Amino acid sequence: MKTSLRAALLSLACIGLAGYTLADEPRRPECIAPAAPGGGFDLTCKLAQSALLESEILSRPMRVTYMPGGVGAVAYNSVVAQRADDGGTITAFSSGSLLNLSQGKFGRFDESAVRWLAAVGSSYGAIAVRADSEFETLDDLVAALKADPGKVVIGSGGTVGGQDWMQTALVARAAGIEPRRLRYVAMEGGGELATALLGGHIDVASTDISDSVPHIESGGMRILAVMSDERLPGEAVADIPTAKEQGYDVSWPVIRGFYMGPDVSDEDFNWWKSAFDQLLASEDFATLREQRELFPFAMTGDELDTHVKSRVKVYRELAAEFGLVE
């Protein structure tokens, strides 16, 4: 598999892909994770780091750097304004990034400001508590929120209107609770969120199932609900009930992928697109993705660009329903 992937890319570099010219391999490949280590952006970068090296698409390890701030806003602005033509750098994004873009939280730049490169997998929102929590089910949590919304401290990656906030807001709305009455503590990414939950600083974490698996396996965390339409496959998560089966009609899929700066050359962009097209078609990559509790979702280039802009439109309408935008 490794040899065939490398040979295919070398061949494509010579003849071009669909009429495009491909650049040489980046000399200093880098993936920016727009949060502190340990969360979903970190997971996304490290998945690409491992896959590109193990497949020999890259001959040297891709560096992962961390740029926390505004749950992706700092990285987005930095890439657009300062690294617009950097052909060796990719930056991780998620559905949460698109939700923030829909509300103008990334400043003066919108969803058209970057080149959307590849989506490499999906996950789902989740409501997590410590293993020793008094909340055994989602109904237990909802009952406590109805009794006194301000008593339960909910941690979320980002502020009101962000992805983690939206997940619990949708559950609250389904239960007849005004979402703005809930007590939130904003944090920077899934790593910080897990640390706060396990340390007893918050009662509940609105999080992502992929981020949570290591803590589930270690016995420190319990998931009250995963926001998928059906129960998920995999030994660590198969017994976790969905919000829907517990009577709350809420689902929240989370796509994970990468973008590049707006002025990156077509040659550099096509090199990365070709690399991800090769990865996404390989069984080896599917195995690496599964090991990180991500589920299949493959899209690159123009197709991803169309999908992203469609999702931002949907999220903008959802945000308007909650009074987050006009």
Domain residue spans of the chain: 2-122+254-321, 124-246
**Statement: residue 14 has pLDDT above 70:** no
Measured in degrees and rounded to the nearest 5, phi and psi for residue 309 equal -70, -30
Task: Say what the pTM is.
Answer: 0.84
**Statement: residue 177 has pLDDT above 70:** yes
pLDDT at 326: 62
| Region for residue 223 given its phi and psi (left: phi exceeds 0; alpha: psi -120 to 50; beta: otherwise) | beta
Q: How many CB atoms lie within 10 A of CB 287?
A: 11
Q: How many CB atoms lie within 10 A of CB 170?
A: 21
* Token reading at 294: 């991500």
For residue 20, what are the β-bridge partners?
17
User: Which residue is it, tokens 């970068």?
Assistant: 45
| Proportion of the chain above pLDDT 70, given as a percent | 93
Q: Tell me: the pLDDT tens digits for 64-122?
A: 999 998 879 999 999 999 999 999 999 999 999 999 999 999 999 999 999 999 999 99
Name the CATH architecture for the domain at 2-122+254-321: 3-Layer(aba) Sandwich (3.40)
User: Which residue is it, tokens 């965390």?
Assistant: 221
Query: Class for domain 124-246, per CATH?
Result: alpha beta
| Proportion of the chain above pLDDT 90, given as a percent | 78
* Residues contacting 324, CB < 8 A, separation 6+: 103, 160, 161
Q: Tell me: the pLDDT tens digits for 16-56?
A: 444 455 678 999 999 999 998 988 899 999 999 999 999 99
pLDDT at 130: 97
53 vs 31: CA distance, rounded Å: 13
Question: CA nearest 57: which of 256, 258, 279, 257?
Answer: 279
Strands 183-187 vs 299-300: parallel, antiparallel or unpaired:
unpaired
- Determine contact, residues 313/293, Cβ cutoff 8 Å: no
Is the fold of 2-122+254-321 the same as that of 124-246? yes
